[in-house]
């Protein structure tokens, strides 16, 4: 196991990158790492990894550090900031592919493609703060996961620095590339425990000409989920989400559940879908268009679960999601991606009389009852040591994960203790 600290680490890093690129962490970064280094090249990252392997110094790649700041029990010795590795390497609008360094944010990547009316349609919370490395490593996704999938579905090539400071390539720059192991899937959601992603190649997609959002209030959550089921079966929606009352306040909803159904296309298509929604969901609500629809969608996308004192994500078969969220208890608020079976949940205020470990056990039992899973998104530092952040898989799956970790990171330096089974 790697050491968590190294007292002379800043001095040693100076010889690799120079003193001006070694700094103390910001408030958020301090929960993830004790010292921050900002390399400007892949070669510098390779050299840093070799140094850390030799001395068993724990490290972790970071973007804005929100993901790791919410779940690390203690900071690693070294955070490798990817902020200076943020170039677009290649962009082929005709081929609908883009290659970029992992330090660029999703927001900047999409701004660069806006002139060609294309985008990477993965919508994490605050895309202007979410780097591609974090998008891949923490498997971030938002409401558009219903229609566009996640980063794992769009990632077709990856480069990362691994064991021995070696640069590893997987996939390629064309969509039809099946050579070698599917390292893209392996790196996705690994939280930096197998290596440091330095470059990624994605498929991109056209930006729809129009987007509208139906916003319908319901007094009961069960009615909102029933309506969502009807819409999901009948229409090719862009997103389909339900907010519990406390999280719906930003939409001027008073103690009601909100169904938010987004749809897109050309003007004729959105007009037709709007009419069908009115026919299928015969309750009062409104259909937003233009800037109003986009602003409300962004409010939905940017609900911040990272800074909550206790937050988790549940994934179950979509048909069971309503029942599972009800079983989580009245002290639980949620954003449910109703068509995908995924929901982010938080503890509402101070309404729970039980401890956080028992709350998580209750949530986890509800997820497991529907053959699903739960992982924590964030927990206050004072309670982290009492919580299991990931479900424990069966013995065979866990053994395989441990073998992969040992093969990719024999020195145990890459973000140790921050994945399933303490990996």
What pLDDT, on a 0 to 100 scale, did the predictor assign at position 5? 55
What is the 3-class SS of the chain, one letter each residue?
CCECCCCCHHHHHHHHHCHHHEECCCCCHHHCEEEEECCCCHHHHHHHHHHHHHHCECEEEECCCHHHHHHCCCCEEEEEECCCCCCEEEEECCCCEEEEECCCEHHHHHHHHHHHCEECCCCCCCCCCCEHHHHHHCCCCCCCHHHHCCHHHHEEEEEEECHHHCEEEEECCCCCCCCCCCHHHHHCCCCCCCCEEEEEEEECEECCCEEEEEEEEECCHHHHHHHHHHHHHHCCCCEEEEECHHHHHHHCCCCCEEEEEEEEECHHHHHHHHHHHHHHCCCCCEEEEHHHHHHHHHHHHCCCCCCCCEEEEEECCHHHHHHHHHHCCCCEEEEEECCCCEEEEEECCCCCCCCHHHHHHHHHHHHHCCCCEEEEEEECHHHHHHCCCECCCCHHHHHHHHHHHHHHCCCCCECCCCCHHHC
**pLDDT confidence of residue 217:** 94
Q: Per residue of the chain (423 residues), what is the pLDDT tens digit? A: 565 555 688 888 988 998 899 999 999 999 999 999 999 999 999 999 999 999 999 999 999 999 999 999 999 999 999 999 999 999 999 999 999 999 999 999 999 999 999 999 999 999 999 999 999 999 999 999 999 999 999 999 999 999 999 999 988 765 555 555 578 889 999 999 999 999 999 999 999 999 999 999 999 999 999 999 999 999 999 999 999 999 999 887 777 999 999 999 999 999 999 999 999 987 678 999 999 999 999 999 999 999 899 999 999 999 999 999 999 999 999 999 999 999 999 988 655 557 899 999 999 999 999 999 999 999 999 999 999 999 999 999 999 999 999 999 999 999 999 999 999
């Amino acid at each position: 196991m790697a050491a968590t600290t190294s007292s002379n680490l800043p001095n040693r890093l100076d010889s690799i990158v120079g003193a001006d690129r070694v700094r103390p962490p910001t408030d958020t970064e301090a929960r993830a790492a004790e010292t921050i280094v900002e390399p400007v090249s892949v070669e510098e990252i390779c050299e840093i990894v070799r140094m850390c392997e030799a001395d068993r110094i724990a490290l972790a790649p970071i973007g804005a550090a929100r993901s790791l700041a919410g779940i690390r029990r203690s900071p690693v010795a070294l955070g490798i900031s990817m902020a200076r590795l943020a170039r677009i390497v290649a962009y082929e609008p005709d081929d609908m592919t883009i290659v970029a360094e992992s330090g660029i944010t999703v927001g900047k990547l999409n701004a660069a493609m806006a002139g060609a009316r294309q985008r990477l349609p993965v919508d994490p919370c605050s895309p202007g703060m979410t780097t591609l490395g974090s998008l891949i490593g923490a498997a971030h996704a938002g409401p558009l996961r219903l229609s566009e999938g996640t980063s794992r579905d769009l990632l077709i090539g990856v480069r990362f620095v691994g064991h021995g400071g070696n640069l590893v390539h997987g996939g390629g720059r064309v969509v039809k590339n099946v050579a070698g192991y599917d390292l893209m899937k392996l790196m996705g959601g690994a939280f930096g425990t197998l290596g440091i992603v330095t470059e990624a190649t994605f498929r991109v997609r056209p930006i729809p000409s129009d987007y509208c959002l139906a916003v319908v209030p319901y007094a009961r959550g069960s009615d909102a989920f029933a309506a969502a089921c009807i819409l999901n079966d009948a229409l090719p929606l862009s997103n389909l989400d339900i907010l519990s009352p406390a999280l719906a306040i930003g939409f001027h909803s008073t103690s009601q559940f909100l169904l938010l159904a987004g749809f897109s296309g050309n003007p004729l298509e959105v007009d037709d879908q709007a009419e069908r929604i009115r026919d299928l969901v015969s309750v009062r609500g409104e259909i937003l268009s233009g800037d109003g629809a986009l602003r409300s969608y962004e409010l939905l996308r940017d609900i911040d679960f990272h800074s909550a004192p206790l937050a988790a994500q549940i994934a179950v078969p979509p048909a069971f999601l309503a029942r599972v969220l009800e079983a989580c208890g009245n002290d639980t608020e949620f954003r449910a991606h109703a068509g995908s079976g995924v929901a982010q949940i938080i503890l509402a205020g101070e309404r729970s009389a039980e401890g956080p470990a028992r709350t998580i056990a209750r949530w986890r039992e509800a997820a497991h009852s529907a053959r699903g899973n739960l992982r924590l998104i964030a927990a206050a530092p004072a309670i982290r040591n009492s919580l299991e952040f990931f479900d424990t898989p069966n013995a065979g799956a866990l053994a395989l994960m441990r073998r992969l970790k040992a093969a990719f990171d024999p020195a145990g330096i890459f973000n140790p203790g921050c994945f399933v089974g303490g990996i």
